[in-house]
Structure 1
């Protein structure tokens, strides 16, 4: 692992899971941590998952059967020299495997034990099944996703699994590792998608006029407004519009030739007028192709942008300049984020096959009691 990245020298053990746990571990690996993912034995592919998912990039792979006493002991040897552990099982599963926090922290008192769940480690929902949509619905984060009277929109899993889950787990892991460096004492990080999704709503709670109950459209001033939505173009493409500030809204109207239209000028924040004004703008945007609107608003502060697929984003001049999207073996991957001054962003790391590093890691563990160093070091 290159030594010039921010998390160089940090060692993470990830017990294979799905969704936010692997994403959090990938993010730590992107930033330079040495991550060993412990894959479970399996006889065939998992439906809906790639054999080499992007979330495994930059990690070494070790296959262990954690129901085996001998192979569980191998994991404990790794944990003894790790800074952090990430697991995403329901509460109690790791304890039943003999790998709960008490055992792991006894082996390594400085360990930061990261637990990724939907509902958290306690409460009446803790052991219930759920998915992204359920967690953000119960947390209040889905409430304001649709105009009044419409059904709440199903957002991408970015809101719950990644926003409320993985990113909060990363913050928790890094905070715990910093604290362990200062105090010598590890901790358990209880990262629940439910908690993180609720925490993100504090931004809406800070907006004047936001409400904690009542019509959902009033809870989020960015939902339902004619200046905050997407519009279909003549070719079937879409553009996004979100000119919240009056100066940007004025520029938006000017670009559309509506700067003198009293309905638009006088009713930017009049919710009663939003449906009618949205219908008018829908007709305007439907009259031209997306490329026309891209050219019209290019270089302006009207806060209008095309809705692009990842493949289209890859070809956009912003990506050509910034190299956020990469093509690897015919598939797209987004580069590590955030970036750091003085460090050139590295291209996406290799995705190792399941168990590809098992022999090397096991051999290293049998030779000495330390962490098996990556051959890249």
Structure 2
């Protein structure tokens, strides 16, 4: 049995973080129904991009929320749910008559999870945006990238998923624990600006002690340190170097054949020269040559793998980090005990009446 078995969660289908949060909750055992608008109702084709991976573990239930009969059926599902998650712009659910207050009237113990970019309140709450905009405003984006170039889009893992979906899931689970003891639900306002700002806590702490500069590429963890960054190899592929601690740095120097006296670790004035020297050393061999050389070392040197390479790596294979069910995909995480939780494929779609019958 999975940890969230027995919990019922109603997911209003959307893009990005709400879909990922629904997947995570379903992976952990919650019974999730994914309410979809259906192609005929104008749902964007991009909403189906998740397919067998992001939509795994829960059936699609088509509902037209502008249809009175469908809306009443959805209210019936709300009345039986433990939690609801939605990712619409502020005011959309209220206009449909499914905002927190009417839903609480139907189900006082309901945990109502909301995920947006800017949050439910504030002067920008109703403005449009995407992951890149949210992490730009939180300050997270300013710390990423090379010092002489604009910050690069760091995929959607910082705003949509790390600062958004995962904190929505945490908030919903916290609300469910509270509702179990009090019988009262809670509204969870998860904003990607808030969440991505929270993810920068360490760097605020370092800055407060004078240990972090606003200049990109000048700090310990942003590529400024020659012993914590990526390097190109002879074959055009890359290695990641994370030799932060002195003994790990010593192992790095040993593997590179550089005398310790020629490469003091924390002399920032010599970092540019060390960058160049390390870069030249790594450029002299292929990536996998370096991976083999450092395989049994404490130097914290690993190959930078592509997605297909990552699925085949012996460590990931031994742990079952990726599984194949129709398509290769990441296994659920975290794991409880030894083995990773099994992947539940996307079940067949249900009608609203079938979904209601299953929740009675």
Task: Provide the TM-score with structure 1 as the length reference.
Answer: 0.89
In structure 2, distance between residues paired with 1:279 and 1:137? 30
Give the CA deviation at 1:15: 0.3
**1:6 maps onto 2:3 in alignment:** yes
| Structure 1 residue corresponding to 2:334, chosen from 334, 338, 342 | 338
2:278 corresponds to? 281
Q: Report the Cα offset of residue 232 of structure 1.
A: 1.1
Task: Go from structure 1 to structure 2 and tell me whether the alpha carbon gap of 1:221 and 1:291 turns closer, same or farther (over 3 Å shift).
Answer: closer
Report how many aligned residue pairs link the two structures.
356
* 1:206 positional shift: 3.0
C-alpha separation in 2, matches of 1:157 and 1:165: 10
Q: Structure 1 pair 310/214, CA: closer, same or farther in 2 (3 Å)?
A: closer
* Distance apart, 1:217 and its partner CA: 4.2
Q: Mark the CA change 1:232 to 1:144 in structure 2 (over 3 Å): closer, same or farther.
A: same
Counterpart of 1:375 in structure 2 is none
Offset at residue 287 of structure 1 (A): 1.0
Aligned to 1:176: 175
Once residues 256 and 354 of structure 2 are traced to their aligned partners in structure 1, the CA distance between those partners, rounded to angstroms, is: 67
Q: Structure 2 length as normaliser, TM-score? A: 0.93
Q: Which runs of 5+ in 1 are unaligned?
A: 373-377
Conserved in 1, the CA contact under 8 Å of 2:52 and 2:345? no
In the TM superposition, what whole-angstrom CA distance separates every residue of 1:231-284 from its partner, at most 9, and x where no partner exists?
11111111101111111111110111113451x1x2x22333222211221111
Q: Deviations over 1:30-59 (max 9, x none)?
A: 000000000112148714853725111000
Q: Secondary structure at the match of 1:80?
A: helix
Correspondence for 2:316: 319
Query: Is residue 103 of structure 2 the alignment partner of residue 112 of structure 1?
Result: no
CA RMSD of aligned residues (A): 2.0
Structure 1 range deviating more: 313-322 or 143-152: 143-152
Q: Which residue of 1 aligns with 2:190?
A: 191
The correspondence for 2:353, drawn from 362, 369, 374, is 362
| Deviation of the 1:314 alpha carbon | 1.2
Task: Quickly say closer, same or farther: Cα 1:220–1:101, change in 2 above 3 A.
Answer: farther
Residues 102-251 of structure 1: matches in 2 within 5 Å? Answer: 102-207=101-206, 208-211=209-212, 214-217=214-217, 221-251=221-251
Separation (CA, whole Å) in 2 of partners of 1:187 and 1:32: 21
- Secondary structure, aligned partner of 2:51: coil
Rounded to whole Å, the distance in 1 between the matches of 2:50 and 2:334 is 27
Q: Deviations along 1:135-155, whole A, 9 cap, x unmatched? A: 111001112113544422221
Distance 2:28 2:253 in 1: 43
- 2-side partners of 1:363 and 1:328: how far apart? 26
Cα deviations by residue, 1:157-185 (Å, 9 ceiling, x for unpaired):
11111110001001000000000001111
- Take 1:234 and 1:39, find their aligned partners in 2: how far apart are those partners? 49
Cα distance in 2 for partners of 1:116, 1:357 equals 25
Q: Partner residue of 1:350?
A: 345
1:143 is paired with a residue whose SS is helix
Per-residue CA deviation, residues 116-151 of structure 1 (Å, 9 max, x unaligned), is 000000111100111111111100111211354442
- Equivalent residue for 2:38? 41
